[in-house]
Structure 1
């Protein structure tokens, strides 16, 4: 968390209103649920560069703090969630943008159809580039463009633009990255844009293998079956992997002891391995992430979805 705060503080010291601007669209193709991205550069005029620069600059100025990304966290108003860029598909895209050779340029309107997200690159001399991204709603298909009626108000009259070549950019930022850290403003769009669900499914498969190697469960494969593709459970299991309490023997010993004392209902085999069923999978995932807490003030017990550790 300290790294996220320190990096955000550095970002906020720069005058991004003076940065040079480049603009790109990104297309996505899923092959066996794995995303492949194609980056195209788009030439933009001075007026649009100013607007794009302003959108990113405003988001940076509005951002108050950055907290470590948690799979269960919801968006937090003007606060951001921080994550290493290398842990996301965005790294693939950034690597393309940092190559010596520029991406191909958009030369036809049709090249814009099917864009998945757009990225504004801001450059200040002597500093790492900042990349600001926004997911294009529903893939921005040709069909949806045709369904829209586009008009401008001119000479006291609404004028039909017909089927002119239009690409829509709004004033929002879903996430931006600087010097290896991604700051997330819209968690849902971030996860959708960068195929994060696929990452959670990989986490599921990896942690089940770890559970099996550790001998933590009587039948580790039951976790995979019970979690399946359920997004809520995928989130919880991914957070279990991230927090890694299950690797701490003392934590596991205390978990078993408290379960017996407080009657949590978690079951163990005769040789001390966890048993899990549809009836208790939610509880097991919760306690493995240490999400069952007791107030130090009045000893009330709580199940929490998100927590921030006090230093």
Structure 2
């Protein structure tokens, strides 16, 4: 996986049931903005609020209409090891990779315990590349990932990489260069993408790539062209976008609601996240005006809907 991968939302009908019929247009929308893959059933996709059956149905729908050149990853982590293994086994043959975060209520207390969990899940889909999902701010499992990798290459035959959703530049950089860079280490903190570039990052997974892919590609190209200051200024626009939505309604629910402006009504958010009203969307856009963020939205930004909400 390289370039931008979108951590996708779980589209729902007004009654809160999954709206699987939206996935083909969602895929087309992402591809139109040079998004190279989807990370399904992750934190952005409210996996903790979905049943195992819903998670299976969601990834099956993504797989059914997956374009050949679109990288599909399914997050299969669960507090119940058997459920995680079931989700992994179901994914085999459907996806390009699986990813797993650790149990987050009763947490693994040692690296050895974490590796046991990962190995058990990975062998349920032995022919599928396996990624570990490192997001300690939510899981509480804060281990050194370089140490994890040294054990993973021995204990998890299909270990392929890490979705690294923490800003720890020293450890992240060492992971990138571990074993001559043989593993795929994906940076997962959208608000600090620019800081991952001097470390050597080449792949990113995040929720705001649903909305602001053109902005982030401008950040990457500015940096690579030597215009570091421009890259940093653009990054601040991405930070402002997140902060604005978070202030109004909490980012998870607000980000999902914001997709309405692109012609993709993702439906309501599940508790505890909140769905934005059109009035709140209008307020968010008004607050973003001084930062001139709207021109940096995805190419299919819905001017018609924008005008409708004033």
TM interval, shorter chain, is under 0.3
**Whose strand fraction is larger, Structure 1's or Structure 2's?**
1
**Whose helix fraction is larger, Structure 1's or Structure 2's?**
2
Which protein shows a greater Rg?
Answer: 1
TM-score between the two structures when normalised by the length of structure 2: 0.25
